[in-house]
Structure 1
Amino acid sequence: MAYRAPLTNHHADGTLCPAEHKHTSSGKALHPDCPGRAYTQAICSCGGWEMKQSGKGYVNESRKRHLSGHAQGLKVLRDLLRLDGS
C-alpha cells in the first residue's frame, strides 16, 4: 500500500488556504485576499501520524521521514515473504 501525507496550509482561523495562495517563506500572504499561512499540516493515510506546525519546511521534512519509514517497512516485509516462499 502506498501511503500519502499531503501538505495543507491553513489560516489562523483553521480554514484551508488554497494552493493558489502563494506565501513568503515566513507565511506572509502574497495573494491580496489571503490573511496568510498560520500553520502547515500533514496527516498520513496510515492513520498513525500527523503533524501541525507553523514551519512548513519542518513539516515537510518530517513528512518525508515518516513516509520513508513506510517504504523501508514494506521492503523488509517483501524480503521476509521472499525468504518464506523459497
Structure 2
Amino acid sequence: MAAHRAPLTNHHSDHSLCPPDHKHTSSGKPLHPNCPGRSYSQAVCTCGTWQFKGTGKGCVNESRKRHLATHPAPAKGPKVLRDLLRLDLP
C-alpha cells in the first residue's frame, strides 16, 4: 500500500486554485501581479476521511502533518521477502 498524501493547496476568494508560482506574503497578500491573493489553504488526505481548510497556511500545514502522522508507515518490500529475511535467533 502506498503512503497517504495530503497535498496543501492555496485558493483565491472565488474558490479557484491559486497556482504554486503565485507567491504571497505571510498574510496572503499577492506578490504576483495577476493574483488576487490567497483567501484560504486546504489539505485533503488520500485516505478519503480527512480534510482541513483554513485562512492560515501554517495552521493548515500543521494539521496536515499531524493527520499524516496517524497513518501507519507502509511496509518496505513484499511480506514474503520480509519473512524470509527475518532472523529469529534464540
**Normalised TM-score (structure 2):** 0.78
CA RMSD of aligned residues (A): 1.8
1:13 aligns with 2:14: yes
Give the whole-Å Cα distance in 2 for the aligned partners of 1:40 and 1:71. Answer: 25
How many corresponding residue pairs? 76
Give the whole-Å Cα distance in 2 for the aligned partners of 1:48 and 1:54. Answer: 21
1:33 counterpart residue number: 34
Give the whole-Å Cα distance in 2 for the aligned partners of 1:63 and 1:52. Answer: 10
Give the whole-Å Cα distance in 1 for the aligned partners of 2:72 and 2:63. Answer: 14
Give the whole-Å Cα distance in 1 for the aligned partners of 2:33 and 2:72. Answer: 40
Superposition deviation, residue 64 in structure 1: 0.2
The within-5 A match list for 1:56-71 is: 56-71=57-72
The structure with more helix, counted as a fraction of residues: 1
User: Percent identity, aligned pairs only?
Assistant: 64
Give the whole-Å Cα distance in 1 for the aligned partners of 2:28 and 2:11. Answer: 10
**Normalised TM-score (structure 1):** 0.82
Give the whole-Å Cα distance in 2 for the aligned partners of 1:23 and 1:60. Answer: 16
Superposition deviation, residue 71 in structure 1: 3.0
The structure 1 segments of at least 4 consecutive aligned residues displaced by more than 2 Å after TM superposition are none
Superposition deviation, residue 54 in structure 1: 0.3
